[in-house]
Amino acid sequence: MATGVATIRLARSGDRAAANFTDKSPLRKEKILQKIIARFVREDQGAAGVEYGLLVALIAAVIVGVVATLGTKVKTGFTSVCNALPGAAC
């Protein structure tokens, strides 16, 4: 009975195949599992989410690298300007 309950949770609402999972026939259970697995493989919404996550991580890494490089150059530029001014407290 516990297997039927878990399968009903995995299936979409109104899915008759999952509702009939408590049937005792092993062939029927096998066909139902095949349908559920085929639907799982066919749906690729999770893969798109992972791809977007990887893109965001890559963009964040590039931004961190650019800010670190430019930050050092900007600091060097301000230091040279400050040193060029007479009487400036750097």
Model pTM score: 0.41
pLDDT for 6 equals 44
Residues 6+ apart with CB under 8 A from 31: 17
Q: Are 30 and 40 spatial neighbours (Cβ–Cβ below 8 Å)?
A: no
Tens place of pLDDT per residue across the chain (90 aa): 444 444 444 445 555 555 555 556 777 888 888 888 888 777 766 677 888 999 999 999 999 999 999 998 999 999 999 999 988 887
- The one-character DSSP state at 86 is T
87/82 Cα distance (integer angstroms) = 9
- The pLDDT value recorded for residue 34 is 85
